Amino acid sequence: MKIVNFDDNHSVISQYMMELRNVDIQHDMLRFRRNLERIGEIMAYEISKTFNYRQVEITTPLDTATCNVIADKVVLGTIFRAGVPFHLGFLNTLDQAENAFVSAYRKYKEKENFDVFIEYIASPRLDGKTLILADPMLATGASMELSYRALLTKGEPEKIHIASVIASQVAIDYIRERFPDDKTTVWVGAIDPEINSHSYIVPGLGDAGDLAYGIKE
């Protein structure tokens, strides 16, 4: 399994990451959502370099031209609700992709003990396609795995890309053990060292869903 960590090489993503993490900036919800979207746009561009392409002949106002277009059938998947602005960034770049949506939630049994449940999926067929699963925070990896398992009811993708703004090392290890090694690539803005007792990434950025859309009850 290949891991691509954008934090290994400085780029404008580093600026957006600082603004997402910074407690003096992150409470501007519009800016927070837009930074998730921007990172999604850049990651989509980088992932597109791994696609297969085919040549087409098109007509311009002056002559004809040969152009390369994406040959892969791409499906963009995300997990509600924090994933929505991140997903939108991917869709801005890969604007002809199909889309899949998963509703997953934590149900707490005790203060620090919870299960993850999948409530709803909406997805096209996935057989032979390139599936990009975008979720900004990859804390434990459990929601990502359960979402993937649920989407497998729609068919077996040929390639899998997992994209997150921040992942914990725990989640990276978890994903490495549970996703097909030969066809999975993980793309992250940063890998943080740990998660706390509430399964939040440390240092992380807090609750991405609340910061993007307001505190939920």
> Does the pLDDT of residue 146 top 60, yes or no?
yes
How much is the pLDDT for 125?
98
Average pLDDT over residues 185-198: 96
Q: Are 124 and 101 in contact (CB under 8 A)?
A: no
Nearest-angstrom CA–CA distance, 31 and 181: 36
Please report where in the chains the tokens 């085919």 appear, as a residue. 54
Q: Are 81 and 209 in contact (CB under 8 A)?
A: yes
Average pLDDT over residues 177-204: 96
For the chain, counts of helices (H) and of strands (E) = 6, 12
The pLDDT tens digits of the residues spanning 36-47 come to 999 999 999 999
Domain spans, the chain: 1-211
How much is the pLDDT for 114?
62
Nearest-angstrom CA–CA distance, 155 and 178: 17
User: CA distances (Å), 58 to each of 63, 69, 94, 106, in order?
Assistant: 9, 11, 20, 50
pLDDT band at 28 (very low <50, low <70, confident <90, very high): very high
- Overall pTM surpassing 0.95 (yes/no): no
CB atoms within 10 A of CB 216: 8
Phi, psi for 90 (deg, rounded to 5): -60, -40
CB atoms within 10 A of CB 53: 12
The pLDDT tens digits of the residues spanning 70-116 come to 999 999 999 988 899 999 999 999 999 999 999 876 666 565 566 66
- β-bridge pairing 113-122 and 64-70: unpaired
Q: Which two tokens stand for residue 178?
A: 């549970």
What SS3 state is found at 164? strand
The pLDDT tens digits of the residues spanning 103-121 come to 876 666 565 566 667 888 9
The pLDDT tens digits of the residues spanning 126-144 come to 999 999 999 999 999 999 9
**Percent of the chain predicted with pLDDT > 70:** 94
* CATH number for the domain running over 1-211: 3.40.50.2020
